[in-house]
Amino acid sequence: MNNRASGYYDPQGETLAINLKDDFQRRKLGEILPLAYNGSAAIQDNFDRLGLKAEEIQSIQDLERIPITKKSDLIAIQKEHPPFGGRLTLPLNQLKRIYVSPGPIFDPLGPGRADPRCCKCVFAAGIRPGDLVQNTFLYHFTPFGLYFDDALVEMGCTVIPAGVGNTELQAQVLQALKVNGYIGTPSFLKAILDKVVELGFDPRKDLDLNVAVVGAEMLAESLRSELESRVGLKVRQAYGTADVGLIGHECPEKNGYHLFDLEMLFEVVDPSTGRQVPAGEIGELVVTSFNPVYPLIRFGTGDLTAIDDSPCPCGRTSPRLKGLYGRVDQVTKVRAMFIHPSLVDQVAARNPVVSRCRVLVTQQSHQDEMTFQIELSDASIDSKPLAEKMRGDIREIMRLRGEVVIVPRGTIPDDAKKIEDRRNWE
């Protein structure tokens, strides 16, 4: 197999000189803003209310004049003008797919070929044309299953559309077909490898797994080392959101996420003011995508990060995110799914006897655990059927398993966060 640690999917684009990149980005901004303004009633409205003209925004610095749109705003915007908040620039029936995230939030996929960002990401991780790749991202509703599938096929790989679950079958397939690449969450890869061992195989001898591209949840470095040493493979991370697709990826150097700066613009801002902070300083990542079908201008990811613009030995000229340091608000991710305080409220609202509740997120041997702590207005109620019903509500609303623990009144402090993340990423 060809060298997995060098080369580029798009040699010209990925190593483009920085001065040429600035010109390119200005030109793109000059294209996308008028397109968004003319194509989307909601964006036109926004600009008009601010007294802004699309052509006045010519540089990344100028973007500061536009307010940030948050993920939670998107839910409200879409509810007000369903399904895409008046931001779609095409007739709906010209879309290739519509993805759905809890909220619900709808994400349109326009016509055309696979996303080049995704091809660049998996190539940088070490996947090559001709590889056999097991894709374990969810294929229904959420985008990443088909997103990676499309890109892998475009690159000339063969895909096993495995999806989530069926751990034993996943392990059997990995061994029987001598799969080269894994795509999915790191915790699920660990679960599959545990199953491989349980089935009596030796991951080093009986598998031919060279590369894992993982994402959708935080990866503790201890888990990365464990996975890499158990199998002799390389684990590289992808970072993105359902709303804008992939945002960054790790290269062979494993020193942060290279940003897709030919496909979108990036700012790191002070979350309280929306003003840009200098490279190296921590703030919220805000992206402006060049997606002509569904332009998102200044989309606040809610992720805290810092930019590293020092050159990378891999030769890619894009700046990198040093790391992801947590969520700006209480939105957090559990087992690759976003959980938001409003979803917690939805679960509670179905059970009027719950007077107060919060969610604790913890970790047990690298698997996320979610526990609903609840206080009841009526202590005499039979707790078993209530907990059983709530577990069903959690599964339905949050699409996750969650435990329910009834605590005495007064246990949950008045100023408690609705979602408390107690995971440790050291």
Would you tell me which residues interact with Zn ion (CB under 5 A)? 251, 253, 312, 314, 316
- What is the Cα–Cα distance from 302 to 71, expressed in whole angstroms? 8
Q: Which is nearer to Zn ion, 8 or 24 (CB)?
A: 8
- For 240-268, the DSSP string reads EETTTEEEEE--TT-SSEEE-TTTEEEEE
Per-residue tokens: 293: 């079908």
Shortest reach from residue 210's CB to Zn ion, in Å: 19
Shortest reach from residue 313's CB to Zn ion, in Å: 7
Q: Which is nearer to Zn ion, 120 or 316 (CB)?
A: 316
Residues 6 or more apart in contact with residue 70 via CB below 8 angstroms: 300, 302, 329
- What is the Cα–Cα distance from 267 to 381, expressed in whole angstroms? 51
- What is the Cα–Cα distance from 227 to 191, expressed in whole angstroms? 11
Shortest reach from residue 235's CB to Zn ion, in Å: 16
Shortest reach from residue 236's CB to Zn ion, in Å: 11
Q: Which is nearer to Zn ion, 247 or 361 (CB)?
A: 247
- What is the Cα–Cα distance from 39 to 292, expressed in whole angstroms? 9
Shortest reach from residue 114's CB to Zn ion, in Å: 22
Q: Which is nearer to Zn ion, 74 or 251 (CB)?
A: 251
- What is the Cα–Cα distance from 266 to 321, expressed in whole angstroms? 10
- What is the Cα–Cα distance from 196 to 421, expressed in whole angstroms? 31
Shortest reach from residue 100's CB to Zn ion, in Å: 34
Q: List the helix and strand counts (H, then E) for the chain.
A: 12, 20
- For residue 159, the cross-strand partners are 133
Q: Which is nearer to Zn ion, 103 or 240 (CB)?
A: 240
Q: Which is nearer to Zn ion, 267 or 308 (CB)?
A: 308
Shortest reach from residue 250's CB to Zn ion, in Å: 8
CA neighbor of 107 nearest in space, from 136, 83, 73: 83
Q: Which is nearer to Zn ion, 204 or 254 (CB)?
A: 254
